[in-house]
Structure 1
Amino acid sequence: MDAVTSSPEPDAVPATGQPSWARGALYRGLVALPLVAGLVTAGWLIADRDQPTQPTPPAPVAAAETAKTAASGPSVLEVSAPVQAQAPGQGASGGGGRSPLQQWAEGLSGPLDIPTPALIGYANGELTLRTEDPGCHLSWVTLAGIGEAGSDHGRRGADPLGLSPAQWSKYGAKIAGVAHPTLTDPDSAAVAAGRALCAGGTDLTGGSGWWKSVAAYKGGKDAELFRQQVLGNAQLYATLSLDPAKANTPAVHATRFALGQLGLPYVWGGNGPDAGAAGFDCSGLTKASYDSAGVGLPRTADSQFRAIPRVPAAQEPQLGDLVFYGNPATNIHHVGLYLGNGLMINAPTEGQAIQIHTFHTPGDDYAGAGRPS
C-alpha cells in the first residue's frame, strides 16, 4: 500500500537490475512470515490493511478519504486452485522414436523454464495418479509448483520434491514400472509426491481440497511461504502451458520476478534488497518487477495508474496487468500485479509479507486495471 499521496515515498529511489537470490533468501529467513494474520474457511489467509506508521508527506485528500483508504482494499486469499493446464501427451512413440510425452515436455520445457526430465516426471506423476486415484484429479502443475518451491526443479538439492523421509517411506517404496525407486529420480519422486497429495480421498479440483492437501504436504515455520509459492508458480505454469508463446513477454518476466519476492517484508518506500531495503512497498514491487522486464514505470501507485493504458472494465485483467485501488478522481493508494484466476501478488501493508491475495472482493475500492507495455 502507498501513502495516501501521489508524491514519492521517502527514499523511494528506483531499483535497477534483479535482486540477488542469496540476499533475498537471507531476508526471507529472517522474516517471521506474517502470512498467518488470521484464518477464514478452508484455512485461507486474511491480513489487516493499516496505513504505515512511518511519517507520510501531507496528503492532498480530505481526512474522510484518508480514513477510507486506510481500511479498504483486498486482504483475503479466498479458496482457489490452479486453473486447468494443458494435458500431458500420451500414446506410442512416433517414427522418430520420441513419445508424445517426450515431445510435449520438450515443447514446454523452455517456456516454463523447467528441465525436460523434471517436466516428464511431473507428467508421469499425474498420469500414474489418474490410474491409482482418479478421484484426486492431480495436475502436473501442482507437482511443478512444489518442485519450484522446494528445489527449483532439482537444481537445488537431491530431493526434487522435498519429500520427508516418512513420506518417501510411505509413498515411494513401490512404483509400477520402476525397479528401484529413488528420491533423486523425477518419476519416482513425482509419483510419491502425488500419492502424498491425494492421500485420504482428497479431490484437488476444488480450492479447499487443494489448499488442505498442500498444507499437509509440508509443515514447519516456512509452511505458509511454501504454500504461496506452490500456488503462484502452479498458476503461472498452467497459464503458460495453454499459451507458451507468452513466455518471453514483459508481463511474464515481471510476474516471475514478483513471485520470487514472496515472503519478503513490506517496507514503506522500499525498493528491495538491491536498493538496500529488506523488502518493497506496493508500487516499489510493481516497478521493480517491470524494471526487471525492461519496462519503466513511475514510482507510486497513483502515478502508475495514470501512466499506463487502462484495461476495459468489462474485461478480466490478464497475467501481468497491474490492479489498482483507491479513488481515480483523487488518489490511488495501492497496486498489485495480476497473476490470473482472480489472484494478485502484492505488498499489502506494514507488518505483512509480500503475498498472494484475491484481487477483488466485495466492499474493496478496486479502481481498475492497467497494462504496462
Structure 2
Amino acid sequence: MTSSTGKAAAGIGCALLTLTLLAALTAAAALTSMLPGNGASASPSKQALADIPPAYLALYQRAAPECPGLSWTILAAIGKVETNHGRHPTMRSSAGAEGPMQFMPTTFPAYAYPVPPGGKKPPTPWDPVDAVYAAARLLCANGAKNGKNLRRAIWHYNHADWYVDKVLKTATQYAAATPAPNGAAAKAVAYARAQLGQPYVWGGDGPAEGGFDCSGLTQAAYRTAGIHLPRVAQAQHTAGPPLPNPPPLAPGDLLFYGPHRNNITHVAIYTGGGRAIDAPHPGAVVRETSANTNSRTFQGATRPSATNTGTGGGR
C-alpha cells in the first residue's frame, strides 16, 4: 500500500492494539549487566536444549512474563540448582522445602494465586506449573521486576551469595549468544534509537510529520539502510524473510504482534538483550522496551537485513 490509504491502514493497525498487548509491550525487560545477552527473549543455548526437559523449558518460558522483565533463564537456572529440573529423587530438602522449585510450605501460598493455566486446584508446590509460576512471583516481589535488583531477588530465594552467583552463571549458560547485526541491521537499529522520544502520530512517517506510527518507524529505519519495506505492519510481515519459531533473534529483526498471523496490528524492531524499539499507540512516544516474544500475541519475526533487494511499497 502507498498513498493516504496505506498510511491510514498503518495507523489503524497500530491503534487497534488490545489493552493486553499494550500492557505487555510497556513492560521493561532490562536485566543486570551480569547477564550479557540474557534478555527476557533470549533463545535457548545448545546447553539449555540438552539439559532442560522440553516440558520444563516451555514452562519456564511461559511463566517468565508473570514478572515483567524477568528472563526465563533465571527460572530455569533456579530449577536446575534446586532439583535439576524435577529430576531430584525426593524433591524434599532437609529444611522442609518441597517440589521442583523447593518452596517452604509456609511460603508457597503467598505466591500461588491466581492459579496459572494448567495448574492444580488447589495449587501445590509439588506441581511444576504451580511451582514455576510461584517462583516468578516470588522473584518479582523481591526485586526482579524490570531488572531493578535481580541479585537481591535471587538472594531472597536462598540466602547465600554462592547461590546467587551459581544461578546467574547457569542462567548465562542457558542463553544463546545474540548474533551480531550486519551493516544494514545496525543502521536500522541506530536510526530507530535516534528517534526515541519522538511522538506517536497515526500514519506518521517521521519528524517532518510530527512523529511515527509503528510501521512508519520500521520502514524509515530500514530506508536508511537502503532496504525498502512496505508501509503497513501486515505487509511488512508478509514481505519477510521469516525466521523460525522460536526465532534466534538478532538486532534489527522485526517483531510482529496481533491476534493472528493474518491480522498483524503492531511491529517493533529488535535491539538485542530481549529489548525492542517501537512507536506504540496514540499519546505515547517512541520507546525501547521488552520485546515480549513470550506473549500470545507475538506472531513471529522477520529479518529484512537478510536481503539487499527492495520489497516494494516504500516511499
Q: What TM-score results when the alignment is normalised by the length of structure 1?
A: 0.39
Q: What TM-score results when the alignment is normalised by the length of structure 2?
A: 0.46
